[in-house]
Amino acid sequence: MILVDEFRDRDVALRIARVIGAEARPERSYAFMEFCGGHTHAIFRYAIEDLLPANIRMVHGPGCPVCVLPIGRIDAAIALAGQPGVTLCTYGDVLRVPGSHRRSLLKAKAEGADIRVVYSPMDAVKLAQASPDRQVVFLAVGFETTTPPTAVVVLEAERLGLANFSVFCNHVLTPPAIAAILDSPEAQGGALRLDGIIGPAHVSAVTGSRAFARFPRDYGQPVVITGFEPLDVLQAILMLVRQANAGRGEIENQFTRGVTEDGNRHAQGLMARVFESRETFAWRGLGQLPASGIRLRPEFAAWDAERRFSLPEPEAEPPTACRCGAILRGLARPADCRLFGTGCTPDNPIGACMVSSEGACAAEWAYGRARHRGKETA
């Protein structure tokens, strides 16, 4: 027993699906947004929509950390990696995210920039210790899940007095992005109608479910925090159907094995100690969102790459047929983009949604195509 198959049991899934089918009211429709890319991935990988009645639709949200990284920040990272003496470390997925002019960190690496993939930010600290003649920069991305480890390495660099280590912080916060979608003209005007939100799994393990309580309270939106396994997602959909049917707007926690109301206080404390809110941060697809990003506090300026290095101002983003922005806001589906599967594939991504396995386009490409084609013969 490795606690994997237990949450992927087909028979249990069919039982939950039958209950959903019985309780979903045929006279109405349901649109639920899963915020997290991890949920998007699970929904595609396990073809969960095939188990749902036709009047329940899943809307894919912007919760894929590399997908929402704006072009300007990628360009800045490429410029940073190109500076003499700099070694840039980051998580693997970030390497393939396209910046301006179809450039990426992967291409910069091929051209000679010293860019390393790390699995933990602590590896970047170790690299800095082992390479005193290099300036090692950790390109930090991600939501609240990956932020505490970044806080830990900043504190570690301070403890070690590491002068050749810094963090290029691109961490963003989940609740402002959800608020931005609910406040968007499309949501307010009815073009994007949502009947409930599947709340983040791992993010909530850090923040606690309480961090999402404002959405039921202020917007009347039902929220169910849930895990990334298919049975988790199905159970959450059932809970959202029940809330919607009862006219309730509450926060419920399906993922009790990982999430508490208060979350991980220690991790929250680390984040608060090291980071402060930015006034605004640009998200790919969502634009500038107030208080949605964080940066190092001034007392950690010595380890802040944005203060240590001069970084280029972001270029204006050229017009493109790529519909990542609309897809990230829940307004379009991957197949609505005319680049999908033609100009834009995982081997040659134009938009960031095609890069990460958590991006809606990459998930549709990997798993969705099998459902949209004729059966083979044999």
Partner 1 sequence: MSNRLPPGPAIDWDHGRIDLSHGSGGRAMAQLIDELFVAAFDNPILGQMNDQAQFDAAPGRMVMTTDSYVISPMVFPGGDIGSLAVHGTINDVAMAGAVPMYLSSAFILEEGLPLADLRRVVASMAAASREAGVPIVTGDTKVVEKGKGDGIFINTTGIGRVPPGIAIGGDRARPGDAILVNGTIGDHGMAVLSQRESLGFETTLKSDSAALHGLVARMIAAVPGIACLRDPTRGGLATTLNELATQSGVGMVLDEAAIPIRAEVRAACELLGLDALYSANEGKLIAICPGECAADLLAAMRSHPLGAQSAIVGRVVADADRLVVMETAFGGRRIVDWLAGIQLPRIC
Contacting residues toward partner 1, per CB under 8 A: 2, 4-5, 8, 10, 13-14, 37-38, 45-47, 50, 65-66, 91-96, 106, 117-120, 123, 141-143, 145-146, 202, 230, 345-347, 356-358, 365-367, 369-371, 373, 376-378
> Cα-flanking dihedrals φ and ψ of residue 185, to 5°?
-55, -35
The Cβ of residue 195 has, within 10 Å, a number of other Cβ atoms equal to 21
Instruction: Pick between residue 219 and residue 367 the one whose CB is nearest to partner 1.
Output: 367
Q: Which residues of 179-194 are buried (b: 16+ CB within 10 A; e: fewer)?
A: bbbbebeebeeeebeb
For the bound state, the minimum distance from the C-beta of residue 120 to partner 1, rounded and expressed in Å, comes to: 7
Instruction: Pick between residue 210 and residue 371 the one whose CB is nearest to partner 1.
Output: 371
For the bound state, the minimum distance from the C-beta of residue 235 to partner 1, rounded and expressed in Å, comes to: 15
Q: Which residue, among 343, 61, 62, has the nearest Cα to 196 in the 3D structure?
A: 61
Q: Which residue, among 244, 255, 351, 191, has the nearest Cα to 29 in the 3D structure?
A: 244
- In angstroms, rounded to a whole number, what is the distance separating the alpha carbons of residues 63 and 172? 10
Three-state SS annotation for 297-334: CHHHHHHEHHHHCCCCCCCCCCCCCCCHHHHHCCCCCH
DSSP letter, residue 116? E
Instruction: Pick between residue 320 and residue 345 the one whose CB is nearest to partner 1.
Output: 345
Instruction: Pick between residue 187 and residue 339 the one whose CB is nearest to partner 1.
Output: 339
Instruction: Pick between residue 96 and residue 242 the one whose CB is nearest to partner 1.
Output: 96
Report the DSSP pairing between strands 280-283 and 287-290.
antiparallel
For the bound state, the minimum distance from the C-beta of residue 44 to partner 1, rounded and expressed in Å, comes to: 8
Residue 139: CB partners within 8 Å, gap ≥ 6? 77, 80, 88, 89, 90, 94, 168, 170
Report the DSSP pairing between strands 165-171 and 30-36.
unpaired
For the bound state, the minimum distance from the C-beta of residue 176 to partner 1, rounded and expressed in Å, comes to: 17
Instruction: Pick between residue 221 and residue 226 the one whose CB is nearest to partner 1.
Output: 226
Instruction: Pick between residue 77 and residue 192 the one whose CB is nearest to partner 1.
Output: 77
Instruction: Pick between residue 206 and residue 331 the one whose CB is nearest to partner 1.
Output: 206
The Cβ of residue 250 has, within 10 Å, a number of other Cβ atoms equal to 15
For the bound state, the minimum distance from the C-beta of residue 349 to partner 1, rounded and expressed in Å, comes to: 9
For the bound state, the minimum distance from the C-beta of residue 147 to partner 1, rounded and expressed in Å, comes to: 10
Q: What token pair was written down for 37?
A: 């890319």
For the bound state, the minimum distance from the C-beta of residue 365 to partner 1, rounded and expressed in Å, comes to: 8
Q: Which residue, among 334, 325, 332, has the nearest Cα to 360 in the 3D structure?
A: 334
For the bound state, the minimum distance from the C-beta of residue 66 to partner 1, rounded and expressed in Å, comes to: 7
